[in-house]
Amino acid sequence: MRRYTYLFAIAIYGLVGCEPDDICLAETPGTPNLIIVFYDNAQPETKKEVSNLQITGVGLDAAYHNSAIDSIDIPLKANETSTVYKFIKIENDVTFEESVTFKYDSYDSFISRACGYKKSFTNVSVERSNTAVWIEKIEIITDTISDIKNTHVKILH
Amino acid sequence: MLKYYINFLIFLFCGCIWAQNEVETDSLATEIRYGIRLGVDMSKPIRMFIDPDYKGLELVGDYRLTRNLYIAGELGNETKKIDRDAVHFETSGSYIKLGIDYNVYDNWAGMDNLIVVGFRYGFSQHSQTLLGYNILNNDRYWEEDNRIALTTPKRFDGLNGHWIELQLGLKAELFRNLYMGLSIQMHRLLKDKDPENFENLFIPGFNKVLTDNPYGAGLNYTISYQIPIFKK
């Protein structure tokens, strides 16, 4: 009987003592960023790079991005219903600054015990400062942002 | 948590060795006693003492059909609050498990100890209350606080779980008709009714539910008394 007791204790230890703890893997898709792709205003189906684009969230000092690009994904504020970004294009040492407000509703959906919930955004709309500086047009491709598979917003310049 | 298991294990271990010595001095009757054995799972009050977020009670019982075969079951109620970074919730409910126990231990004459292989079907009815959670946001640019505490907790009623379980255990007769038992349980969840936009993360009687894995584990440590009905 004693032999069994030892075996039993080891079995319990193996089974219960090392119960796996769920870990939220770093690659788990969380709250999606807003994907913006820049297009040529003259040829609306052709991507066009913005030379020296600086993107900074209004209220923050650090720029989110600062280099030439033709597409980018930017985070929206999860706890609020709007996010304002400054899109600054620097061309030949001349600064063209424009601020864009993204407005939206949101909902939370469950991922897992370890990861919690993620936010998705709905009814996404855009508001711009009155005068167009370098952006010609902003088109919303999809007003629901629940993943980062496709373009959400198209900016023509 | 691990510390709790280790302490608990030491406790059980001592109990088993002590129990064994008692049994060896038992009287040498030759009959097999039949009866209803009723008991309580002592691991639950111990866990309540160690873990303030846990409340539980489990009654156990079995009835001897033949020399080695028993009808067995457990009836219990558990409340568990889990406050993790990602989710903060409380599950509360009752469960019943029914099945058979088979004794594989060959006793000396007059002794009645058991090494039990048991099989159960388990069913729970419970509610889960979401108290808060974390929004997974891999982009920390806005440095927002992603932790959400719900001012009005979301309560999900009418949830349930069905599972099967394999039990391996020991029962030792300490004094005449008084038994101490120890068993480990491996569960496999068959189906469960999940709350909307949430999941059953703890099921009473089943214990912790893993996201992508239907298996779970539990243990109990019982003190039970056999009400003798007849002898053969």
Do B9 and A17 form a contact (C-beta atoms < 8 A)? yes
Check if A148 contacts B (Cβ < 8 Å). no
Domain membership of residue A10 (yes or no) is no
Do A115 and A104 form a contact (C-beta atoms < 8 A)? no
Which DSSP category does B99 fall into?
E
Higher pLDDT, B64 or B31: B64
Domain membership of residue B27 (yes or no) is no
Contact residues, chain B, for A114 at CB < 8 Å? 84, 86, 211
Domain membership of residue A1 (yes or no) is no
Number of structural domains found in chain B: 1
Domain membership of residue A8 (yes or no) is no
Domain membership of residue B184 (yes or no) is yes
Domain membership of residue A43 (yes or no) is yes
Structure tokens at B217: 């584990």
Which DSSP category does B190 fall into?
E
What is the per-residue pLDDT for A9? 63
Higher pLDDT, B156 or B1: B156
Residue B172: what are its φ and ψ, rounded to 5°?
Answer: -120, 135
Domain membership of residue A14 (yes or no) is no
Contact residues, chain B, for A7 at CB < 8 Å? none
CA dist., res. B202 & res. B210, Å (int): 9
Is the pLDDT confidence value at A70 over 60? yes
Structure tokens at B12: 């059980």
Q: What is the pLDDT of residues B155-210, one digit of tens each?
A: 999 999 999 999 999 999 999 999 999 999 999 999 999 999 999 999 999 998 88
**pTM for this prediction:** 0.79
Number of structural domains found in chain A: 1
Domain membership of residue B198 (yes or no) is yes
Q: What is the pLDDT of residues B84-129, one digit of tens each?
A: 889 999 999 999 999 999 999 988 887 889 999 999 999 999 999 9
Boundaries of domain holding B190: 2-22+32-231
Domain membership of residue A38 (yes or no) is yes
> Per the CB < 8 Å rule, is B208 touching A114?
no
SS (H, E, C) A87-144: EEEEECCEEEEEEEEEEEEEEEEEEECCCEEEEEEEEEEEEECCCCCCCCEEEECCCC
CA dist., res. B77 & res. A140, Å (int): 53
What is the per-residue pLDDT for B108? 85
> Per the CB < 8 Å rule, is A78 touching B144?
yes
> Per the CB < 8 Å rule, is A13 touching B5?
yes
Boundaries of domain holding A133: 24-156
Domain membership of residue A18 (yes or no) is no
Domain membership of residue B189 (yes or no) is yes
Structure tokens at A50: 């913005």
Q: What is the pLDDT of residues A36-51, one digit of tens each?
A: 999 998 998 899 999 8
CATH number of domain containing B36 = 2.40.160.20
Check if A115 contacts B (Cβ < 8 Å). yes
Structure tokens at B173: 């007769």
ipTM above 0.90, yes or no: no
